[in-house]
Amino acid sequence: MEWDVAACTDKGVVRPANEDSFRISRDRSLFVLSDGMGGAANGEVASAIAVEAVIATTHENGSSAAPGKSMPRPEFSAHANDLVRSIESANRQIYEQALRDAASRGMGATIVAARITGSRLALAHVGDSRAYLLRANVLEQLTADHSLVAEQVRHGLMTSQQAAASELQSVLTRALGMDAKVEIDADEIELLPKDSLLLCSDGLTRMVSETEIAGILEQAPNSQMAAERLVQRANECGGHDNITVIVIRDSGRSKGWFARFFPFWCSNIV
């Protein structure tokens, strides 16, 4: 399987600066997205540390081991375990930076990282940045938000509709940099031809419904158009937060008619 990859980021309509970061390593099929937290407390620094740490410490063969890091989880591959260890490193670097620098006290970040090896997808995440799989026109959230409202929904204390309207959406139960150690969720799935993957910050998912996200992913002729349109649509719906997306599609997908109706260019793509 070959992958068509694109990314787009924007500060949105309301926020004065963009605290999101992302990095893509095409040679390793490694994709990382982070949403910084803290505002004046250097949230953009935290997200930049997070993505750079994962890129720097994720190894080619996935077999690295170092003193002080967690033991490999036997249910996961070497690549998935390496992804978890790299996020542990990111957490440690953010935490130590906040201890050294008074201006960085309180900074933190979410993270979602994906690694594709052959047709195998490894995922690891902390916080409420998400990974989605679009397969046969059905959008499935692959990550579980580490937020107060998401926990209440999972325990039956709140409906999804109530959670979407709650003023507590931004309260996270896990984030990078808050403590010396952090619990990291991981998973692996087998990818199929014509699958599409989406990594995104909550600036997208709070503004655009999953039904509309699925439609944009399905109808866009390529990843570039999909990424640009998702960011544009979040801004059209209010753009209350920074918006970052990474779209990863099977390059064998047929082109659609979408581009004729929604021409858009994102100058922040790298």
Average pLDDT over residues 186-209: 96
CATH, residue 46: 3.60.40.10
Cα-based distances in Å from 32 to 23, 28, 66, 127: 5, 12, 22, 13
In a domain, 225, yes or no: yes
Domain range for 188: 3-260
Instruction: Say if 266 falls within a structural domain.
Output: no
Q: Taking residues 18-24, report their average pLDDT.
A: 97
Q: In sequence order, what are the beta bridge partners of 10?
A: 243
Q: For 90-129, write each residue's pLDDT tens digit.
A: 999 999 999 998 888 889 999 999 999 999 999 999 999 9
Q: Is residue 269 in some structural domain?
A: no
Residue 72: is its pLDDT beyond 90? no
Strands (E), the chain: 3-10, 20-25, 30-37, 108-109, 111-117, 120-126, 130-135, 138-141, 185-190, 196-200, 243-250
| pLDDT of 67 higher than 50 | no
In a domain, 126, yes or no: yes
pTM: 0.88
Q: Tell me if 265 is assigned to some domain.
A: no
pLDDT at 260 over 60: no
Confirm whether 267 is domain-assigned. no
Q: How many domains does the chain have?
A: 1
Q: Using an 8 Å Cβ cutoff, are 214 and 139 in contact?
A: yes
Gap between the Cα atoms of 129 and 172, Å rounded: 11
Q: Which of 18-22, 71-75, 115-119 has the lowest mean pLDDT?
A: 71-75
